[in-house]
Amino acid sequence: MEQKQMADQMADTVMAERWEPETGKFRKTENLLSAFGFSEWETMPRVISFVGAGGKTSTMYDLARELAANGARVLVTTSTHIFKPERYNVEVVSKLADLPGEKSGYFGADAESELKKTEMTRHESENHAAVGKILVAGKQAQGAGMEEKLTMPEDLGDESVMKRLLSHFDVILIEADGSKRLPFKIPSETEPVLIPQTGMVVACAGLKAGGKTFADVCFRFASHGAWLKRKETDIVTAEDIALVFMDERGSRKGLDGRYYRILLNQSDGEAEKKLSESIVAVLPENLQRVCIRTTRMAQEE
């Protein structure tokens, strides 16, 4: 059920808006790439890690599809855990060095020639072409109930392996922490898991967390949220969410000069939109300029 729900969300379209301090408003952007502040994917960092909670995985795949649609070869992996998606090519490997090379038929002309050699319906061919530039890879997760999950490949972050991967892939997207599908989180002492090659960190939170108690919506609050000086029964406010985005014990943990983007997901109703504006009002101007909110819109059948 959880996997089906995620698959349905990944099939929806997403509208992105970026905050403009000059106008004091969120402005709709052409796509996620422009919301992140890049005119084309060739100018953005090649390794991007997603942290936080509340739409993190869905947004990572949104960006993957957008990049692939514009000609990029995209590898999606994890430094923690991630579900195996149903709609993309998945390679289960202990090490990324074991991935097939660029002649594997996943990308570019090779993928097109493979389509010509196989007997597919037109619909199947279009679907194959649409996902041909996205590969999801990871090590099989172990333990009860983990059959549908991938975990961190043993050599993710190894300098020579990453150099090889970046000769085959244009962009690598990494899910760098977990959230148990809650909309808000506080990182533990071992999170996030950012590999040295990470050039940009996208910190996510779900606006559905607003107005609910920390106990109900905030992952790891009981074990790692003491620095917020709040109680489990307290209501999550705009100030709380903003503080996690601002603090080095929160989403900026381990940032170390990397590009940083704030993503407010689940902006589906007026209450969530107002909350997003209240969060921005608490942020300093340099973080306001990298603040984005998204609204997910179901595609018509």
**Using CA atoms, how far apart are residues 257 and 198, in angstroms rounded to an integer?**
11
Supply φ then ψ for residue 136, to 5 degrees.
-105, 130
Question: Residue holding tokens 């960190």?
Answer: 201
Distances (CA, A) of 288 to 99, 163, 221: 40, 34, 25
Cα separation, 192 vs 53, whole angstroms: 12
**Does residue 32 sit in helix, strand or coil?**
helix
Parts of the chain with a pLDDT under 70: 1-12, 101-132, 298-301
Give the residues across from 115 on adjacent strands. none
Q: Quick: pLDDT tens for 124-172.
A: 433 333 343 899 999 999 999 899 999 999 999 999 999 999 998 999 9
pLDDT score recorded for residue 139:
97
Please give the model's pTM, rounded to 2 decimal places. Answer: 0.87
Residue 200 CA, chain-centre distance (Å), reads 11
pLDDT for the residue 128:
37
User: Which is nearest to 204 in space by CA: 38, 54, 33?
Assistant: 54
- What pLDDT does 145 receive? 87
**Which pLDDT value is given to residue 297?**
74
Q: Looking at residue 299, what is its pLDDT?
A: 52
Q: What are phi and psi of 246, to 5 degrees?
A: -90, -30
Q: How far apart are CA 63 and CA 126, in angstroms?
A: 20
What pLDDT, on a 0 to 100 scale, did the predictor assign at position 111? 40
> What's the rounded Cα separation, in Å, for the pair 130 and 240?
40
Whether the CB-CB separation of 199 and 50 falls below 8 Å is answered with no
